[in-house]
Amino acid sequence: MDVSRRDFLKISGGTLLGAAGAVAPANDAGAQETVPELRIRDAKVTTTVCPYCSVGCGILVYTKEGTVIQTEGDPDHPVNEGTLCPKGASLYQMVNNQKRLLKPLYRAAHAKELKEVEWDWTLDQIARMVKETRDRTFRATSKS
Ligand code: SF4
């Protein structure tokens, strides 16, 4: 069966109009009742940068009463223009997931289990190891 472009538009346009008529409310009052209130209405919006990788995508963070209620890509950011990869799109979970770790976990050499440790101890360990590595491997270059 040959279908011209004009026929195709007639058929598809008629189908779309028919479908819209089937689901559209009969009057404006009905339409108002079916539109849910936006979750981000009256929320404070803060701009930030995604912490996950060096691309540095812009993020909008919506908060209400100090709680993050939504995160999304910043359409005005020159790097991502509103888009986010799946990792950045899951940023909301970083603060709201109930399984989120709140303290560092440490597994000592040859140990089988992780144990919860304090942040001060962890940061001291990291600083000590960075300094040890730096002292052991740093080579001054001569300027000529
Ligand atoms: S959204 Fe994805 S690509 Fe962008 S900075 Fe975050 S992790 Fe990197």
Residue 57 Cβ contacting ligand 1 at under 6 Å = yes
Q: How many domains are contained in the chain?
A: 2
Distance CA 50, CA 137 (A): 32
Query: What HEC string does 67-86 produce?
Result: EEEEEEECCCCCCCCCCCCH
* Overall pTM surpassing 0.85 (yes/no): no
Quick check: 103 and 118 in contact, CB under 8 A? Answer: yes
What confidence tier does 25 reach under pLDDT thresholds 50, 70, 90? Answer: low
pLDDT digits over 34-86, tens only? 888 898 999 999 999 999 999 999 999 999 999 999 999 999 999 999 999 99
Residues 49 and 91 placed together within one structural domain of the fold: yes
Q: Among the atoms of ligand 1, which is closest to the Cα of residue 85? A: 2
Residue 82 Cβ contacting ligand 1 at under 6 Å = no
Short-list 47, 59, 63, 66, CA closest to 87: 59
Residues 85 and 116 placed together within one structural domain of the fold: no
Residues 86 and 52 placed together within one structural domain of the fold: yes
Q: Is 21 a domain residue?
A: no
Q: Among the atoms of ligand 1, which is closest to the Cα of residue 73? A: 1
pLDDT digits over 26-44, tens only? 566 666 678 888 989 999 9
Domain span at residue 61 reads: 44-95
Neighbours of 62 (CB within 10 A): 19
Residue 88 Cβ contacting ligand 1 at under 6 Å = yes
